[in-house]
Structure 1
Amino acid sequence: MSTTTNATAKRPPHVINKLIFRRIMPLLIAAYVMAFLDRTNIGMAKDRMEIDLGISATAYGIGAGLFFLTYALSEIPSNLIMHKVGARFWIMRIMITWGIISACMAFVQGEWSFYILRMLLGVAEAGLFPGVMYFLTQWFVVQDRAKANGMFLLGVSIANIVGAPLGGLLLTMDGVGGLHGWQWMFIIEGLPACALAFIVWKYLPNKPTDAKFLSRAEAEDLESRIAAEEKAGAAASGNSKLRHVLKDKQILLVVGIYFTHQIAVYALSFFLPSIIGTYGELSSIQIGLLTSVPWIFSAAGALLLPRLATNATRSRMIATCTMVGIVAGFTLGALGGPVLGLIGFCLAAFNFFALQPILFTYPATRLSGAALAGGIAFVNTVGLFGGFLGPYVMGLMEEATGSKFAGLWFIVAMCVIGALLTLRLKRGTEDPSKATVSGH
């Protein structure tokens, strides 16, 4: 009998887990591909906008980073709204508004219109990443959550693998219809998010008991196991309300690590095309293809490492090793020249999304309910200020020294601090997956 009509049939948890991955992850990954593409495609447009609009490296760094200020300030309200109205509607709303605003980047006239549209894009997209991180806590138990988070973060890697060559190709449309190539890039890469939003609305269930591909018994059992884990973790850490997040040293540690991590991720996202442009006489398509290489390694890291973080000890060990890998990668990128430098950026990128999904498993072992939704948003909100600081410092140091590599040493120093912080990570219960959970 079909699982959509049998209210009592129950398949083994590992079978249900694979089914959930297959049914909801492709939609979420596709949404994040478009989100990351639309927030970072200005990296490919940087040099052309400097020429066509007179936007300086410092102004570019400020504009790239301003996205994260408004994004961060809007995240907690956005996640609390999503907790009330459901992921399906709220993700659709986010995608439509960011798609329209991203396309409007084609009409930037100078520094101030660039700043304003970047800030509006931040408000529009706010809540997508922490919203999905919270959404996944409603579908996966703790031991499977790092793997799920890592799969979602494949969207970043795919966006950069596809986006850089695509951006390079679209830049060759210069003069078509009287528009610059970078204007076509913003339009063509922005509007598809609006179309995907309606597919999300149609096919993404809010929670297991809304899913037609699970029986009622399977959905209720999954929700009860997740609820029991959340309750055990929140009780062990003493966190029952959102305000408790500010007093939780472990969550504050996660915030600090994530802050340094985001400095590295977005410095590379926004400035790698320009850095590669210094390697020789390269066309925009060649720069785009070379820019995509480190992100292929980031996809490999996201697939291979988070699935190993099945308990507290492994999570902490992998978090430390990945931060050390980022430090080593950026150091090599700063010193190594074209070949070794690119290898260094590949090493750093390999570790980016092996670390991030692990970090976002910690709040869910210490919080529950609305406090969990707000707590995840809080981690991302404060951490994303690194997304402002990294590009800003990279642009400032480039303009001050004339070298596109100068800011990399700031990234290295911040990531050394992040690596030291990982040594003190602990979960709500040192291994929540061992908590007594019905049916698990």
Structure 2
Amino acid sequence: MTILNTATAAAAPAVPAEQRLNSLLLRKLLPLLVIVYVMSFLDRTNIALAKASMGIDLGLSAAAYGLGAGLFFLTYALAEVPSNLIMHRVGARFWITRIMITWGLLSAGMAFVQGETSFYIMRLLLGVAEAGLFPGVMLYLTYWFDREQRARATGYFLLGVCLANILSGPLGGALLQMDGLLGWHGWQWLFVIEGLPAVALAYVVWKKLPDGPASAKWLSEADKRDIEQRLSAEKAAAPPQTRLSQMFRDKQIWLAIAVYFVHQITIYTVIFFLPGIIGTYGNLSPFQIGLLTSVPWIAAAIGAATFPRLATTPTRCRMIMFFGLLTMAAGLVIASFSNSFIGLVGFSLTALMLFVVQSIIFVFPSSRLSGSALAAGLAFVTMCGLFGGFVGPSVMGLIEQTTGSTRNGLWVIAGLLVLAALISTRLRQGQEEKAQA
């Protein structure tokens, strides 16, 4: 029996050391980061479900709602670069913990808005509080994963958005039905019950999240050396792009920003207006609207878990981005022509590629920057792109109020996505330009 067991063990294929280490990093880091991102997205987008009842109770028009939804991204974007530079200096564990505590308290405080002015102020403050989380995690992943694995890790991280939107529909619909309990409106319960858990999770982040490989107790010394060697080799192969002045002159950074800007217009317009569009499909309860709102995000989760792992070379990255952006455009066109199940299929087609594209976009600028320029550069790309989160909902709200329909807005976004697809074919990673020089 012993001889048989020994022979079987010898015949079993050994797991390559690099594959084992990558699996360990994904298993140890991504679950907590995904949960953090789930909560952040719940708290920044739960006004989508609260829109109808808040509009009645506070007298908010469609344009006021769209402006308030977008104002979050105005301060969020402006605070991205300083927030990421602070994280680079003080460490991920402390700074992400701080971000979570402040955004959780402010999100719960949304329950106490009284009208348009306080609604706008709270959305602006919430944007400042949460600023730095996404680019901070993008920076944090560069401490652990080389370029080949970074798109995969980013894709898994972005599953948090999918999970948040899958959960937010049924959960938000159920919380809205608490209307009248203890004299509170349903939307007030929604903000408080979804906001405070972020404060509790901040303690877990403080205890469990290492600042980098050197402080990870679950890594062996050999594993730490392996990570350091891989990242050092990647840094040595990259073009010397370490100063902020060089970053602003790099046309590739601006191409990535253009694509990301259109992407953010798309995603946040869909997030903030999808429940209202589904509400026009028939006589549906808040809970039923919430359930149907989850369907496209299930498609988004499938896309995020499937396609980014294929983006292992610059050519594949561009190809997946190009066809992903065209697929998103096609989905919005389909959705604009239907008030029923077919429209939901169109939104699902768009959502399928939302986080596939987003997980790949940041591979391009991160391949061209290092040190503090990498921290500032990723935040700068995020900041500029997130102005799309302000523009999309604001313009869509105006279109809905002036025309009584969202169809024209969906057509405009579809056209922008086609333009972004063409721009994506011009993106190049750092090592490509070095090879061509």
How high is the TM-score relative to the length of structure 2?
A: 0.95
After superposition, where does 1:41-440 map in structure 2 within 5 Å? Answer: 41-235=46-240, 239-430=241-432
- Give the C-alpha shift of residue 11 in structure 1: 7.9
- Give the C-alpha shift of residue 337 in structure 1: 2.8
1:5: which partner in 2? none
Instruction: Name the CA shift for 1:197/1:203 in 2 (closer, same or farther; >3 Å).
Output: same
- Give the C-alpha shift of residue 58 in structure 1: 0.3
Residues 177-200 of structure 1 deviation map (CA, whole Å, 9 limit, x = unaligned): 110000000000000000001101
Residues 394-433 of structure 1 deviation map (CA, whole Å, 9 limit, x = unaligned): 100000001133321221122122111111111111299x
Aligned residues between the structures: 421
What amino acid is the match of 1:381? M
- Give the C-alpha shift of residue 245 in structure 1: 1.4
After superposition, where does 1:28-39 map in structure 2 within 5 Å? Answer: 28-39=33-44
Contact 2:84 2:132 in 1 (8 A): yes
The residue matched to 1:191 in structure 2 has which SS? helix
Larger displacement relative to structure 2 (111-120 or 360-369): 360-369
Identity of aligned residues (%): 58
What amino acid is the match of 2:78? L
Contact 1:150 1:306 in 2 (8 A): yes
The residue matched to 1:282 in structure 2 has which SS? coil
Contact 2:39 2:198 in 1 (8 A): yes
What amino acid is the match of 2:283? E
Contact 1:259 1:383 in 2 (8 A): yes
2-structure distance, mates of 1:19, 1:398: 48
The residue matched to 1:287 in structure 2 has which SS? helix
1-structure distance, mates of 2:182, 2:313: 56
- Give the C-alpha shift of residue 339 in structure 1: 1.3
2-structure distance, mates of 1:21, 1:421: 31
What amino acid is the match of 2:204? I
- Give the C-alpha shift of residue 231 in structure 1: 3.4
Divergent runs of 4+, >2 A: none
The residue matched to 1:429 in structure 2 has which SS? helix
Contact 2:45 2:271 in 1 (8 A): yes
- Give the C-alpha shift of residue 369 in structure 1: 0.8
The residue matched to 1:59 in structure 2 has which SS? helix
1:438: which partner in 2? none
Contact 2:280 2:339 in 1 (8 A): no
Residues 231-282 of structure 1 deviation map (CA, whole Å, 9 limit, x = unaligned): 32233xxx12122111111111000000000000000000000000000000
Instruction: Name the CA shift for 1:11/1:222 in 2 (closer, same or farther; >3 Å).
Output: farther
The residue matched to 1:240 in structure 2 has which SS? coil
2-structure distance, mates of 1:184, 1:243: 47
Contact 1:102 1:190 in 2 (8 A): yes
The residue matched to 1:381 in structure 2 has which SS? helix
Cα RMSD of the aligned pairs, angstroms, is: 1.3
Alignment gaps of 5+ in structure 1: 1-9, 435-440
The residue matched to 1:83 in structure 2 has which SS? helix
2-structure distance, mates of 1:102, 1:298: 25
2-structure distance, mates of 1:139, 1:172: 44
Contact 2:49 2:275 in 1 (8 A): yes
Contact 1:86 1:206 in 2 (8 A): yes
Residues 129-168 of structure 1 deviation map (CA, whole Å, 9 limit, x = unaligned): 0000000011001110000000000000000000111000
Contact 1:312 1:431 in 2 (8 A): no
2-structure distance, mates of 1:202, 1:223: 24
1-structure distance, mates of 2:16, 2:92: 26
1-structure distance, mates of 2:106, 2:28: 29
What amino acid is the match of 2:224? A
Instruction: Select the residue among 9, 22, 27 that pairs with 1:22.
Output: 27
- Give the C-alpha shift of residue 226 in structure 1: 0.8
What amino acid is the match of 1:402? G
- Give the C-alpha shift of residue 224 in structure 1: 2.6
Larger displacement relative to structure 2 (221-230 or 351-360): 221-230
- Give the C-alpha shift of residue 225 in structure 1: 1.5
Larger displacement relative to structure 2 (408-417 or 258-267): 408-417
1-structure distance, mates of 2:221, 2:420: 44
What amino acid is the match of 1:175? G
The residue matched to 1:362 in structure 2 has which SS? helix
Contact 1:230 1:366 in 2 (8 A): no
The residue matched to 1:307 in structure 2 has which SS? helix
Residues 286-308 of structure 1 deviation map (CA, whole Å, 9 limit, x = unaligned): 00000000000000110101000
How high is the TM-score relative to the length of structure 1?
A: 0.94
What amino acid is the match of 1:114? F
Contact 2:242 2:372 in 1 (8 A): no
Larger displacement relative to structure 2 (397-406 or 286-295): 397-406
The residue matched to 1:430 in structure 2 has which SS? helix
